[in-house]
Structure 1
Amino acid sequence: MTQTSETLGTEDQQPAVRRPRLHRAWFVAAVTFVTIIGSAAFASLPGLLIDPLHQEFHWSRGLIGFAVSVNLALYGLTAPFAAALMDRFGIRRVVAVALTVIAVGSLLTVWMTAAWQLVLYWGLLVGLGSGSMALAFAATVTNRWFTAKRGLVTGVLTAAGASGQLVFLPGLSWLVTHHGWRPAAVTVALAALSVVPLVWLLLRDHPADVGTAPYGSAVFVPKPPPATGAARRTVTVLVKAARTGPFWLLAGTFAICGASTNGLVKTHFVPAAHDHHMPVTMAASLLAVIGVFDIVGTIASGWFTDRFESRRLLAIYYALRGISLLFLPLLLHPSIHPPMVLFIVFYGLDWVATVPPTISLCREYYGEDSAIVFGWVLASHQVGAALVAFLGGLARDVFGSYDVVWYASGALCAVAALMALVIRQRPAVPVMPVVPAA
């Protein structure tokens, strides 16, 4: 009877954790996906602004690239602090404020008349807001709500940025071509604002808020108290992680990732194609197609990350990316042809496929601090992107073409592949045998 009573008592405690047929974590992931799509409009615009701003204000491409580089750098440097702020104030509040800041910064550019205003509005405000909506947001949601299928969910949420690019880029390029860049900037602001009610009403900070366990776990996890000292914790985590070799290898590879994607292709592909007399709308459509295959590649990468060694995946991704960039200068023509289509498909599959294995390695090495560590790794990604966004525009002003930038980025990707292979697998913690009591 004692055993039966204990069993019944244990069973009586289990209903405290609600187990709906479709776990609430999937609803949270869906809201996060839509939110990232809504905020991704801003990422589609910089490459479309370079030529119109150059023609209207006679600003150099290097100067415009500098404003974009400030945006990209702050996007990365804000991310680790945003992850800590989410631990302090909650995901919902931080994301709602970030979307509002993006909208304000984008709207203010409509009335700018000087280059410093572009740096302030688009560089500073949109950079700060978008940094709080960075991939650290996806990592935080995944860490809190999922213990199973983390790689797959990370891949899906990472692909949301590409989905936003797919949704907005063709329309924005049409607006810029037929009505100027200002209506496009207003569209970006409205897209960010439209997501705020969705975030506030449907997004939840923690599984405990709805009385359930994380997906894949039978254990109810109480919601931790708000973490005070967000800035101090962010810096402390950085200092601690910086004492380890894997952090610098991950940061280095991800800096090259940012340089070869956001800094180079997303910012300079459209003006580079236009240099070869390709229409802007056609070049923007090619970037949108990259977004289509990016979704496939990133979700597949998440699936691979759940099954294969992350270090080897990163080495393969970077090597393939570098090879494709070396061929790009030979493929730019006034019209679309099969080799260019092949490049677009190939590059799209590899665009941010690096994110799921990078987050996995951060989680493997840094545990509960992995979201903040990944935020710092993402900061290096955006610093690399910022440098190439600026240097790419400068190279175009100096050399009259982007060729040297494509070749240099291809070589850097080869370096990243070697760095990924150097990362050592963390040794498993040995299980101590249980010694029976005498």
Structure 2
Amino acid sequence: MKKLRSMVKQLKYPGWTVFFLSFSNLIVEGGAKNTESVFYLALKNGFKTGATVTSLVFSLGGLFGAITSPLLGRLLDNLGPKKFFVLAGIVIIIGWQLSSYAPNIWYLYIFYSFIAAVGHTSISSFTAMATLSPWFPATRGTVLGLADAGNPLGQAIFTPLSQALVLGLGWRWSFRIIGLIFFTLVFPLNLFLQKPAPKELDETDESTIDGELINSGHSFKAHKIQSVWWMIGARGFLSISNQMIRLHILAFFVLSGYDQMNAATAVGMIGVVSVLGRPSLGYLSDKLGREIMFTLGIGLQLIAISVLILTNNMNNLLPILLYVAFSGLTDGIGGLILSAKAGDIYPRVYLGEILGLVEIGRGLGIAIGPILGGILFDLNGDYLLAFTIAMILSLVSIGCSWMIRFSHYSKLTPVS
């Protein structure tokens, strides 16, 4: 009976409400990010524009997300999660609805690439992690991993839904309907259910020391902290690597001789595996340590890519299955583990600002990685050099993750 009362008490813990809201926000972020391939083709055909002009709509969205993320992080710290996410829902629906009425594609560079992209960035993983992290200091990695599973779930839900809507109603009505669904998942839920973090959970054992340093009379400036820059480096190099591979992996499979339908199905399965992989990553990072799990996870990715590059038998499905398994189990490792690490070592009141800066790395990766991979392919006629460079960048990311730990024991050490 006592054990039952304890379980009921845990379920009533308000942190689980914040968890649910973070999960819901990340479903929207995953849906917005992964429907772009569907809308890319619809916009290209609808406006009769070329690939470069059309893809620029989404590339600019990543760039604007990188530029605005530090400002959004600071705004989250200043407004608090309730007001911040309510505003995010409003921005999202404005961006999507205006985009649906665009008379030509140039209008989308404002309506979608800027307005909608700011809304997407506002409910992305870094704001979810900054909001959720203080509620579960003892099991931060596990809970963040569970919440982050909302991202691939959004992919699984909204990618086929958007495709069905485009085929049935056209892209304009698809934008209106998808935008309204996103608004419904963000605005009312956060308006009525979102909670501020209780003061007694603000600090962990590690971050308390940092908090004392911050409150010693020095003005806090996240961009002057060494460990923050190592975190940006880890996120950025890994993001470039991931984007170099992710956009081109299907073309690589087909070029290597795999059946196109089998390859596309396999790539789609990565999101399904990731629903289980992300919570597992978070749990193991709580047990083994953030840096160790970061290293092991990226190591699995490197093994999978190496097998693909070195295999000569294209009738063998083992390489593609290994890629799906290892990539799915470690998908999203950068944002998840680095966010958990930030929650470990920085006070809650600055998490939004710090993770907003770290998000710059992800945004730059989205902008640089696909283009760099395409250029290297055009120069060489294959993906060997592109994927090799991507693997090297992943190794650099591992090095940066360890430097977070060894940068004066991860304390808030100013850049000299």
* Structure 1 counterpart of 2:358, one-letter code: V
Q: Which region of structure 1 is more displaced relative to structure 2, 418-427 or 166-175? A: 418-427
Q: Distance in 2 between matches of 1:187 and 1:393?
A: 33
* Cα deviation, residue 389, structure 1: 3.7
With 379-388 and 142-151 compared, the bigger mean Cα shift is at 142-151
Please say if residues 129 and 340 of structure 2, whose CA atoms lie closer than 8 Å, have aligned partners that are also in contact.
no
Structure 1 residues 20 and 92: CA distance shift in structure 2, 3 A: same
- Following superposition, the deviation at residue 365 of structure 1 comes to 4.2
Partner of 1:354: helix, strand, or coil? helix
- Count the aligned residue pairs: 384
Q: 1:303 and 1:216 mapped to 2: Cα distance? A: 20
Q: Is the 8 A contact 2:281 2:333 kept in 1?
A: yes
Q: 1:108 aligns to what? A: 98
Match of 1:278 in 2: 260
1:257 is the counterpart of 2:238? yes
Flag the 1:122–1:247 CA change in 2: closer, same or farther, 3 A. Answer: same
Q: Which residue number in structure 2 is paired with residue 239 of structure 1?
A: 223
- Describe the SS at the equivalent of 2:221: helix
Greater Rg over alpha carbons, structure: 1
Q: Where does structure 2 lack aligned partners over 5 or more consecutive residues? A: 1-8, 205-218, 412-416
| TM-fit CA distance, 1:308 | 1.7
Structure 2 equivalent of residue 192 of structure 1:
182
Distance (Å, rounded) in 2 between the aligned partners of 1:60 and 1:329: 31
Identical aligned residues as a percent: 21
- CA deviations 1:321-360 (Å, max 9, x no partner) are 23434555789x9999554343222211111123333123
CA distance in 2, matches of 1:189, 1:256: 32
Distance 2:173 2:377 in 1: 27
Query: Do the aligned residues in 1 keep the contact of 2:222 with 2:228 (CA within 8 Å)?
Result: no
Structure number with the higher helix fraction is 2
1:388 aligns with 2:369: yes
Deviations 1:164-207 (A, max 9, x none): 11221232234445655444433430221111212211112233
Partners of 1:336 and 1:62 in 2: CA distance: 35
The CA deviation string for residues 368-422 of structure 1, in whole angstroms up to 9 with x for no partner, is 4344212211211111121124445666788787675444323322332343344
Match of 1:347 in 2: 327
TM score, norm. by length of structure 1: 0.74
2:377 and 2:85 map into 1 onto residues whose CA distance is 36
1:54 to 44, 53, 58: 44
- Call closer, same or farther: CA 1:184–1:397 in 2, change over 3 Å: farther
* Structure 1 position 360 matched with structure 2 position 344: no
CA-based RMSD: 3.7
Query: Contact 1:69–1:385 at 8 Å: present in 2 too?
Result: yes
5+ residue gaps in structure 1? 1-18, 218-232, 430-438
Bigger mean CA offset, 359-368 vs 80-89: 359-368
Using structure 2 for the length normalisation, give the TM-score. 0.78
Corresponding residue of 1:229: none
Aligned equivalent of 1:301, options 281, 284, 307: 281
User: Of the candidates 151, 161, 164, which is equivalent to residue 161 of structure 1?
Assistant: 151
**Among candidates 374, 384, 397, match of residue 416 of structure 1:** 397
Match for residue 223 of structure 1?
none
In 2, Cα distance between equivalents of 1:148 and 1:335: 47
Matched, 1:27 2:27: no
Query: Of 86, 94, 98, which residue of structure 2 is paired with 1:96?
Result: 86
